[in-house]
Structure 1
Amino acid sequence: MARTSALDALHFALDRTSPVPLYYQLAQQLEAAIEHGALAPGNLLGNEMDLSTRLGLSRPTVRQAIQSLVDKGLLVRRRGVGTQVVHSQVRRPLELSSLYDDLEAAGQGPTTQTLRNERIPAAADVAAALGVPQHSEIVVLERLRRTHGQPVACLCNYLPPDLLDLDTTRLESTGLYRMMRAAGITLHSARQTIGARSATAGEAERLDEEAGAALLTMQRTAYDDTGRPVEYGTHIYRASRYAFDFRLLVRT
């Protein structure tokens, strides 16, 4: 019996008259299928010969397309198994939005595990960000966000204590910003800093990475439409699975 491939249900539109190389067109369409969940982690792509026959492409063209995605970490070649989907890289627009909403809109199947939801005294940096006295009571949330069952980010958020009801069950079924909007809070603007560093041993274990692996970092203070700080977040993301998209405008 012939082994079925996850690619059997997909349609590829390759323009042979385009100046864009065929291998690149194929790689882009495979990557889009992975990002949108049409190809899920663990799916087999079948062998290069079958795919080249199906698409009317040469084996070197198919091999180059697959290798480009192997190099990106989206596919892996396993001896005796074949080429498999590993995971998709989350591409997030750089705007004031919820990671949960962005992942859900991209078909990434987000899930959340709440690690911490409690009231603590505000440290100096948190107090300054939220505009409250140092050591005054605030709420801290720590959550682990996954896509397709794989960890992608650790989120730490600090909020004023009486901002809204932060029920743990709801936090694990929706996004924080969506809860804010439901409570009548209108998010207006934010100040955000993006950086990078190496993972500590604890962070690497939590995110299923090697110790010292590259992490993206983000610090954000969000404000409502009255100018009040409503949230201060310090988040870390797996650089192997996460990217920010920038849209740049030219000044004339």
Structure 2
Amino acid sequence: MTTTPLPRYRQIADELREAIASGRLKPGDALPTEMELCAARDISRHTAREALRLLTEDGLIARRRGAGTVVTQPPAPAFAQPIGDFDSILQYARDAAFLPDRARPATAGEAKRLDLTGAFTAYPGLRRASGAAPLAITTIYVLDALAPPLEAVRALTGSISEWVENAHDVSVASVTQRMEAVALTKTDAAKLGVAEGSPALRTLRRYTDVSGRTILVSESLHPAGRFAYEMKMTRQRK
């Protein structure tokens, strides 16, 4: 199978992004100018400008008067979600819009990997907040009998689980959440605009009804620096 190479400006951006992530370029360090990038990489000025634009949009570099283009301080996560209750999960769905690419049947491989029993519809897409860089690659799997039309998902201002409850009079009894650190594949990294192998947080949420049946599963990949979980712990004193 042949793969389409990344555009040259994305290759340049990824190389500079890796230099920043590794610490070879530190906050306050000056980046090469567009003309310097052109001479060093044998690229057009348009290509150099587009590479720097991607890094600027990701908050990794900024133009400073008298200093040119410099590496910025690592940005705070674009979205922080509390851990602890179901309402916080629903709030995330309201604040971070889910933009599905399409609706398709879940594959046999996905069903086996995610322990799905029965036929499920998959909605792959991205999550975004306030027009910023994507917060996550997300795929949501819904039991076929409860799955909403794609147009309904695209129009939602809340979560798919709320739509299922309202449309089918089915109650979500529990949500199990699993989190783990992973490295992004080339394909996923390209969708998120980061370097291949970049760290990411994988979250898997399983929604079950009162009978214990899995009715919805959500799988997300959050690149480092754009999302964080927060948990408040209160000390109990005797």
Using CA pairs below 8 Å that are at least 6 residues apart, which structure has the higher relative contact order? 2
In which range does the TM-score fall when normalised by the shorter chain? Answer: 0.5 to 0.7
1:155 corresponds to: 138
1:89 aligns with 2:78: yes
SS in 2 for 1:157: strand
2:222 equivalent among 234, 237, 249 = 237
How many angstroms apart in 1 are the aligned matches of 2:97 and 2:113? Answer: 30
1:177 equivalent among 154, 161, 165 = 161
1:32 corresponds to: none
Change in 2 beyond 3 A, CA 1:100/1:201: farther
Q: Pairwise mapping of residues 18-37 of structure 1 onto structure 2 (< 5 A)?
A: none
State the one-letter code of the partner of 2:100.
T
Q: Deviations over 1:165-198 (max 9, x none)?
A: x221221232212212322222121222101111
1:167 equivalent among 134, 139, 149 = 149
1:112 aligns with 2:94: no
Normalising by structure 1, we get a TM-score of 0.56
Equivalent pair of 2:178/2:204 in contact (CA under 8 Å): yes
How many angstroms apart in 2 are the aligned matches of 1:232 and 1:126? Answer: 13
1:101 aligns with 2:91: yes
Q: Deviations over 1:32-85 (max 9, x none)?
A: xxxxxxxxxxxxxxxxxxxxxxxxxxxxxxxxxxxxxxxxx9786422399999
How many angstroms apart in 2 are the aligned matches of 1:100 and 1:82? Answer: 39
**Contiguous gaps of at least 5 residues in structure 2:** 1-57
Equivalent pair of 1:189/1:224 in contact (CA under 8 Å): yes
How many angstroms apart in 1 are the aligned matches of 2:80 and 2:223? Answer: 12
SS in 1 for 2:194: coil
How many angstroms apart in 1 are the aligned matches of 2:110 and 2:155? Answer: 31
Displaced runs of 4+ in structure 1, greater than 4 A?
73-77, 81-88, 97-100, 124-128, 249-252
Change in 2 beyond 3 A, CA 1:233/1:98: farther
Higher strand share: 1
The share of aligned pairs that are identical, in percent, is 19
Equivalent pair of 1:194/1:217 in contact (CA under 8 Å): yes
Change in 2 beyond 3 A, CA 1:87/1:178: farther
Equivalent pair of 2:105/2:121 in contact (CA under 8 Å): yes
How many angstroms apart in 1 are the aligned matches of 2:109 and 2:139? Answer: 14
Change in 2 beyond 3 A, CA 1:169/1:98: farther
Change in 2 beyond 3 A, CA 1:75/1:214: closer
SS in 2 for 1:158: strand
**Contiguous gaps of at least 5 residues in structure 1:** 1-72
How many angstroms apart in 2 are the aligned matches of 1:171 and 1:98? Answer: 20
Equivalent pair of 1:126/1:158 in contact (CA under 8 Å): no
How many angstroms apart in 2 are the aligned matches of 1:103 and 1:235? Answer: 12
Normalising by structure 2, we get a TM-score of 0.59
